[in-house]
């Protein structure tokens, strides 16, 4: 059993922290939202007075924050987590953030004699609740090995993706595939529909043929073929179009730095941005089919 500080108790962090409590760890928690903190103290966690207080006298600190600016502001500088924690504390940042912020924060932690990994996740709120997240971890082998037993209480698949920041690299690459493939599947189902092909028939054929992919078989954007997909509940998320857009914008930034062309990733970002402009970025990202059908 370890003493863990947990900062960022939102849609993802809340259930992740609960799973650490269930595993018998003791948790000191902090969030700007009082309600989020109360949810966790009711489950047995101790309330910290601030983020830096949550990082004091613990062995591990887990953060699950919205974006790079939040991670930098919480970790860096006087009164930041790195300055406040005991020597030897291991930091695990599971937020999805830009690669330079991840690398800068880990370098600052290492310069202060701490260990840190970036460990973004895939699997959404359902995976966070069930403790079945996939973690993509960047950092030294020693930091990865130390973080792994903690991550295993929140996830099922824990991958070491390489050096600092590589967890974020894996995350943007994976989500770019997902964002693009969902658009491809959506275009095909709308085209099939307009040419007189029933969605279930197209699903039966393509899900066993070369068009098969996760966006079709696990998250089909039309209601019917995959009963658990958001299409069956009016595209309530799941994983919102707004979050997909955030990840595609991170991919675009990263591609610019790497001078790597991502023409389809760029197009995909623009299509999800149209959902945002229509005020529909709170829908699940598979709701992109509504845009393609002309319903937005
Ligand atoms: P969220 O907005 O629900 O939660 C973020 C929490 O951080 C909020 O409770 C907020 O109050 C808190 N916070 C912000 N700034 C803070 C600060 N300075 N100090 C303390 N707390 C602070 O977001 P989420 O859905 O839980 O996502 C968290 C991260 O996980 C994001 O980077 C997101 O991209 C990533 N992610 C989300 C999903 C998903 O399906 N929701 C899936 C994979 C990855």
Distance in Å, CA 218 to ligand 1 centroid: 24
Q: Does the Cβ of 61 fall within 6 Å of ligand 1?
A: no
Mutate to test the pocket of ligand 1, among 9, 13, 120 (most ligand atoms within 8 A of CB): 13
Reduce the DSSP state of residue 161 to 3 states and report it.
strand
Q: Does the Cβ of 125 fall within 6 Å of ligand 1?
A: yes
Reduce the DSSP state of residue 26 to 3 states and report it.
strand
Q: Does the Cβ of 10 fall within 6 Å of ligand 1?
A: yes
- Encoded tokens for 122: 């895939």
The answer to whether 276 and 263 have CB atoms below 8 angstroms apart is no
Residues labelled as active-site residues? 171
Given this model, what pLDDT does residue 238 score? 85
Instruction: Give the DSSP letter of residue 25.
Output: -
Tens of pLDDT along the chain (296 residues) come to 899 999 999 999 999 999 999 999 999 999 999 999 999 999 999 999 999 999 999 999 999 999 999 999 999 999 999 999 999 999 999 999 999 999 999 999 999 999 999 999 999 888 999 999 999 999 999 999 999 999 999 999 999 999 999 999 999 999 999 999 999 999 999 999 999 999 999 999 999 999 999 999 999 999 999 999 999 999 999 899 999 999 999 999 999 999 999 999 999 999 999 999 999 999 999 999 999 999 99
Residue 211's alpha-carbon distances to 1, 208, 217, 231, in angstroms, are: 46, 8, 10, 19
Given this model, what pLDDT does residue 258 score? 98
Which residue has 């007189």 as its token pair? 196
Distance in Å, CA 202 to ligand 1 centroid: 37
Q: Does the Cβ of 285 fall within 6 Å of ligand 1?
A: no
pTM of the model: 0.96
The answer to whether 124 and 112 have CB atoms below 8 angstroms apart is no
Indicate which residue's Cα is closest to atom 9 of ligand 1. Answer: 10
Residue 238, preceding bond cis, omega within 30 degrees? Answer: yes
């Amino acid at each position: 059993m370890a003493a863990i500080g947990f900062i960022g108790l939102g849609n993802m962090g809340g259930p992740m922290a609960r799973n650490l409590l269930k595993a018998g760890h003791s948790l000191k928690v902090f969030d700007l939202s009082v309600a989020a903190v109360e949810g966790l103290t009711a489950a047995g966690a101790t309330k910290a007075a601030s983020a830096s207080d949550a990082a004091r006298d613990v062995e591990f600190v887990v953060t699950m924050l919205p974006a790079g600016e939040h991670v930098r502001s919480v970790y860096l500088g006087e009164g930041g987590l790195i300055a406040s924690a005991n020597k030897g504390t291991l930091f695990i940042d599971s937020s999805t953030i830009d690669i330079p912020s991840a690398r800068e924060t880990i370098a600052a932690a290492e310069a202060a004699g701490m260990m840190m990994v970036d460990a973004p996740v895939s699997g959404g709120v359902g995976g966070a609740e069930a403790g079945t997240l996939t973690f993509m971890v960047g950092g030294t082998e020693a930091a990865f090995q130390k973080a792994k037993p903690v991550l295993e209480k929140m996830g099922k698949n824990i991958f070491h993706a390489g050096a600092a920041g590589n967890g974020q690299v894996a995350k943007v690459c994976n989500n770019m595939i997902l964002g693009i493939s969902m658009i491809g599947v959506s275009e095909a189902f709308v085209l099939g529909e307009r040419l007189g092909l029933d969605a279930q028939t197209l699903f039966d054929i393509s899900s066993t043929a070369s068009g098969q992919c996760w966006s079709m078989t696990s998250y089909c954007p039309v209601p019917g073929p995959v009963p658990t997909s958001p299409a069956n509940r009016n595209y309530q998320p799941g994983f919102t179009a707004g979050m997909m857009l955030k990840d595609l914008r991170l991919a675009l930034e990263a591609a610019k730095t790497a001078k790597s062309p991502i023409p389809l990733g760029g197009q995909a970002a623009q299509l999800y941005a149209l959902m945002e402009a229509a005020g529909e970025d709170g829908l699940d990202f598979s709701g992109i089919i509504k845009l393609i059908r002309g319903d937005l």
